[in-house]
Amino acid sequence: MESKTLHFLSLLAENNNRDWFQENRKLYDAAKADMEKLVGYLITEVGKFQDLGNLQVKECLLRINRDIRFSKNKAPYKNNLAAGIGPGGKSSGKIDYYLQIQPGDLSFLGGGMWDTTSEQLARFRQEIDYNADELKHIIEGKEFKELFPEIHGDILKTTPKGYPKDHPEIELLKRKQLFFVHRYTDKEVASKDFGDMVVNAISLLKPFTDYMNYVLYEQPAEQ
């Protein structure tokens, strides 16, 4: 990405109001175009190893405007540019690859189980109880752990209902969220190889998102 995109986002963080934004609309338009170019590249390259259908850039980009209706923070804009890349785009309702560009070494690629229903959590726990090895084989692989070393998300303080405290996979069973993140420095984001870095990370994250999408959304319910 262009370094001027990170510069714009830094300025926006310091001047997060509508007047400044409108006065500097050209800077935002340039940053948005830079993000669109990156997302277009990712769609092309990821499409070589995953069927994304006829995915369009506009289906991936998230709005920079914040929903402030129920927030104490009334800043009208996000301090980042973000996209959800996967079949169906940001609104598919399934797990995708979430890319966020934010200065201060806060950019990251992430994906996983985050906002789930009680039914989906039950399906996940049932799968872990039945066969945890498939998931563990993915997330404990050497290359995966090098890029995604830590599980993020909330954990139950108590044992989930229906499972014994001494279950061999109790730590996975207690998970309410299971999300992985790879962070990028500003230097990496501004490098000419950034797009390829993200493609490589997505290729390593794909088996995990495939697994989670199957368990949460595609696996036939037991009769």
Q: What is the pLDDT of residues 2-39, one digit of tens each?
A: 999 999 999 999 999 999 999 999 999 999 999 999 99
Return d(Cα 217, Cα 8) in angstroms, integer: 38
The predicted model gives 34-46 an average pLDDT of 98
Contact 133, 139 (CB under 8 A): no
What are residue 146's phi and psi, to 5 degrees? -65, -40
pLDDT score of 222 more than 70: no
Q: What average pLDDT score do residues 194-220 get? A: 95
Residue 214 DSSP SS3: helix
Q: Where are the domains of the chain?
A: 3-218
What global pTM score does this model have?
Answer: 0.94
Amino acid 220: pLDDT:
65
Give pLDDT tens digits for 153-192. Answer: 999 999 999 999 999 999 999 999 999 999 999 999 999 9
